[in-house]
Structure 1
């Protein structure tokens, strides 16, 4: 056994060394108590604290994402741009889309939080193990700058993809116009968006290259149909078209597709062949195509059944009666030669 003088000589002012020597009576264990006991405890503590923080943040993000499918949406998950207030009918189509977007944003946030926390924990553990972090951090900074210059397009794509999710520009299943490609979105990622067009071609589009987005599936859609009526009475034609549009609106097949009753707004323009009457209808985005097709068919058939089609055809001016362009009309026939008669 060591005497009190030996303990003071071996441990000096180290309280832990003295305590370990008092417990065990082993000088080598007392002298190495800091390396054998304190450092492993600190390393384990850093790892446990990092895992706890990660678990708490993941739980908070998951809760935040789950509340997005409810009526009240958290401010963090609201689009950055101010949305127009939607009606009750339109609101029934939003929760599923909101849920998908919230899950995508939540997945990105969880991955980012995990990478950040574990990186910081790894640096703290390396510091506890005696590594000199200054050269490592300097090297990491140089590598980061080099990657930043070499991968500018990648960073641009990732940032554009993140803002696309936050702003809810489009989602899987939406019909979009992205400039070169127009079709249905099949997948959305932080770097790449895939769109399949009407011919079945699958387009891979980098998010950083998308400068404009036309979303044909978001919220609601508008059906606009212009019907030429010649020179017949516009009020009579509007009444016939309105009755046909209301018939389509009350059809059980399309009853849920109309957000507002269809309306015949009246004469939209005048041409050399007569007036053109416009019919509009506010519909769901999914039902726009089928409603537009059936509404166009019903309007055409209503003109046929009412006898207006024959009157429209008869009211149109024959092409020979249209003044040529060189006399101020719309006929593009070549004017006669200088020696002829007009």
Structure 2
């Protein structure tokens, strides 16, 4: 190899390395720009929906705003990812027309081979616009009860009381039990001894429930439903209190404490499990 050929080869390698370095910088710049746009769009969407909750003319609740924010952020993220990948492929020399053909073929393949994804997205739209549930609601889906922490067009995220995160595809949500729709009932069941006078106990319980106005989360005076069970060791009485959403557990705990104190004051016995044993003696022959 002559000296001229060596110089030419070195120059070609340097040019190649420089072009590769420039492309890598450009790709890095595109990825950084995508990251920045996602962060910025999420911030703008969050501020926008938060602002709408303060405008009475739109009457948008905070839970609806959080859900719309979650879905908007998800859609925006995927759109930015798609544009970023499209730009990177174009930068690497892939023709734009070829990319459009690939995208069209890909959309057909998705429509044929990923019907469940399309179903999930359609269900996501219905969940959003029919307001089945929203971020922050306590729901039961597929026998899983927990707080909705995220809703996207693809799936719903629920965190149960043990702290476990459940990700459920929207297409398989099925029946939804929403525990945060307008109000929720606090239900307390107490047992009394069979020796107690039922009418007296019911009157005492109703009198105690009439003095619960200091519990701010209770919407109406609790109702003493009556006897709901004749168990082995106790007569079961149920009390139902209509209260604000997400406050039922606290209300139930407070009512149990007040009932126990009132029973102690009135001398009403809360029995423990008991059994009567009959000893039969055999007669001597």
TM band (smaller chain): 0.5 to 0.7
Q: Tell me the residue number matched to 2:121.
A: 158
Give the direction of change, closer, same or farther, for the CA distance of 1:292–1:274 in structure 2 (3 Å limit): closer
1:268 Cα deviation after fit = 2.2
Tell whether 2:203 aligns with 1:243: no
Q: Tell me the residue number matched to 2:174.
A: 211
Q: Tell me the residue number matched to 2:226.
A: 266
Tell whether 2:190 aligns with 1:227: yes
Q: Tell me the residue number matched to 2:109.
A: 146
Give the direction of change, closer, same or farther, for the CA distance of 1:265–1:182 in structure 2 (3 Å limit): closer
Q: Tell me the residue number matched to 2:156.
A: 193
Residues 45-60 of structure 1 aligned to structure 2 (within 5 Å): none
1:183 Cα deviation after fit = 1.6
CA contact (8 A) 2:150 2:156 kept: yes
- Which of these two proteins has the greater Rg computed from alpha carbons? 1
- State TM-score, norm by structure 1: 0.52
1:146 Cα deviation after fit = 2.4
Residues 54-69 of structure 1 aligned to structure 2 (within 5 Å): none
Which string of whole-angstrom CA distances, capped at 9 and with x for unpartnered residues, describes residues 152-201 of structure 1?
12111111111111121211111222225322111111112222222222
SS in 2 for 1:319: coil
Unaligned 5+ runs, structure 1:
1-61, 74-93, 115-132, 322-335
1:211 Cα deviation after fit = 1.7
Which string of whole-angstrom CA distances, capped at 9 and with x for unpartnered residues, describes residues 214-239 of structure 1?
22222110112222223321111012
Q: Tell me the residue number matched to 1:307.
A: 267
Structure 1 CA distance for aligned equivalents of residues 181 and 261 of structure 2? 31
Q: Tell me the residue number matched to 1:172.
A: 135
- State TM-score, norm by structure 2: 0.61
CA contact (8 A) 2:70 2:150 kept: no
Q: Tell me the residue number matched to 1:118.
A: none
Matched pairs, number: 212
1:317 Cα deviation after fit = 7.6
Structure 1 CA distance for aligned equivalents of residues 193 and 249 of structure 2? 27
SS in 1 for 2:210: helix
Give the direction of change, closer, same or farther, for the CA distance of 1:71–1:237 in structure 2 (3 Å limit): farther
1:104 Cα deviation after fit = 4.6
CA contact (8 A) 1:183 1:197 kept: yes
Residues 68-107 of structure 1 aligned to structure 2 (within 5 Å): 70=56, 95-101=61-67, 103-104=68-69, 107=72
Q: Tell me the residue number matched to 1:297.
A: 257
Give the direction of change, closer, same or farther, for the CA distance of 1:163–1:201 in structure 2 (3 Å limit): same
